[in-house]
Amino acid sequence: MKTYNGAIIDPIDERDYKLEEVGMFAPVNWIEKKGIRQFEVKDQSQSSSCVANAVAKILAIENYLEEGRYFPLSARDLYTRRTNNGGGMNFREAMKLGHEKGITLEYLMPSNGKGEAEMNKADDRTTFTEMTGSILAGGNYISTPFNIDSIASVINQGKGVLLGFRFDYDEWDLEVPIINPKSKLSCHHGVAGIDFTIKDGKRAIVIDESWGFRNITQRYITEDWFINGRVTASWYFEDLLNIKTKEPQKIKYRFDYDLYYGMRSPAVSKLQEILISEGYLFIREPTGYFGNLTLEAVKNYQRDNKISPVSGYVGPKTREVLNHNNK
């Protein structure tokens, strides 16, 4: 049986920013599209650099949205910064590096068609390539739910999405991969989701493929793959400092009970309204979910209002200040 494991599963990290806290995008209109978005074809050859190639693709798309021109980025620049030994790369680490370091241009550190040995060389990295990469760095890296509608809603904003899938080689060896219930899940692969459509009567995410066996460079991943738990990762870039929020308004509200990380309630929505209006929280709209962004915003609010301890927990002291300032 052929195997491939270029993608390394991420351990759960509660610090991740989540789309459900940032604010969901509007649902998409599912239709069979006549034209699918096209970008440059990436070729990872025999290397295990699928995740690096996918992140280089979605970051290039992100820069295209901002600049109006598409510049291919170097998967090798990203791949050589990974911390794991051996081949493959973690999804979260790749996104974090794309955010913190950026990725330089493909022509400065060529990666297309290079094997594993060549993909592990960075002797052509220079101060100039690093500076170029930093200019092209991505915004915050945000995880999404593993459902097809959420992922399509992100792509509908013009973005690309880093996706991970588990499968057997024979399942994937088609333009429209088909699930085998008896799959051994021998392969783990990272790809770039770049469009969505109806394919053969089913909702599907269109992926750009760097592992192009049979010369298939785009695949249609139907809703079956999302329903049956074959998705292992879903990430995208978004600059939260530039996020469009609703016009801030003076809020009157009394907090009668404590609020804390992981909580979901209408009171959390009111807290988020206040934090947004006062410039502490950058999300699209109040979501009612007390995640890491809200936690950080509460800590900054506590710090500025001399509330101790600065814990992010909205207890009696913090509620007293909130109630005084918003009565």
Q: Looking at 205, 239, 273, which one is the last position of a domain?
A: 239
Same domain, residue pair 122 and 78: yes
Range of the domain at 119: 4-239
Residue 160 pLDDT grade (very low, low, confident, very high; cuts 50, 70, 90): very high
Same domain, residue pair 98 and 127: yes
Residue 3 pLDDT grade (very low, low, confident, very high; cuts 50, 70, 90): low
pLDDT at position 5, please?
82
C-alpha R_g of the chain: 21
pLDDT, tens digit (0-9, with 9 covering 90-100), for 105-129:
999 999 999 999 999 999 999 999 9
Q: Looking at 181, 214, 239, which one is the last position of a domain?
A: 239
Model confidence at 87: pLDDT above 90: yes
Helices first, then strands: H and E counts in the chain? 12, 10
Q: Looking at 196, 212, 239, which one is the last position of a domain?
A: 239
For the chain, give the percent of residues with pLDDT over 70.
Answer: 96
Model confidence at 213: pLDDT above 90: no
3-state helix, strand, coil in the chain (%, to 5): 35, 20, 50
| 127 Cβ neighbours under 8 A, 6+ residues apart | none
pLDDT at position 252, please?
85
Same domain, residue pair 316 and 201: no
pLDDT at position 12, please?
83
Report which of 24, 87, 99 is spatially closest to residue 55, judged by C-alpha positions: 99
pLDDT, tens digit (0-9, with 9 covering 90-100), for 5-57:
899 988 888 889 999 999 999 999 999 999 999 999 899 999 999 999 999 99
Mean pLDDT within 51-70: 95
Number of domains, the chain = 2
CATH assignment of the domain containing 68 = 3.90.70.10
Same domain, residue pair 87 and 158: yes
Same domain, residue pair 233 and 260: no
pLDDT at position 247, please?
64
pLDDT at position 231, please?
97
Same domain, residue pair 93 and 148: yes
- Decide which of 285 and 160 is more confident: 160
C-alpha separations of 147 from 42, 110, 220, 232, 311 in Å: 26, 34, 15, 11, 33
Same domain, residue pair 200 and 320: no
Q: Which residue has the tokens 């979501």?
A: 287
Flag the least confident range among 126-130, 153-157, 285-289.
Answer: 285-289
At residue 51, the 3 state secondary structure works out as: helix
Computed over every residue of the chain, the mean pLDDT equals 93
* Consecutive H or E run containing 218: strand 218-222
Model confidence at 292: pLDDT above 80: yes
Q: How many CA atoms lie within 13 A of 48 on its CB side?
A: 20
Q: Please give the full DSSP string across 95-140, using - where no structure is assigned.
A: HHHHHHT---BTTTS--TT--HHHHT--TT--HHHHHHHHHT---E
CATH assignment of the domain containing 279 = 1.10.101.10
pLDDT, tens digit (0-9, with 9 covering 90-100), for 226-258:
999 999 999 999 999 887 766 666 778 999 999
Residue 239's CB is within 10 A of a number of other CB atoms, namely 14
pLDDT at position 9, please?
87
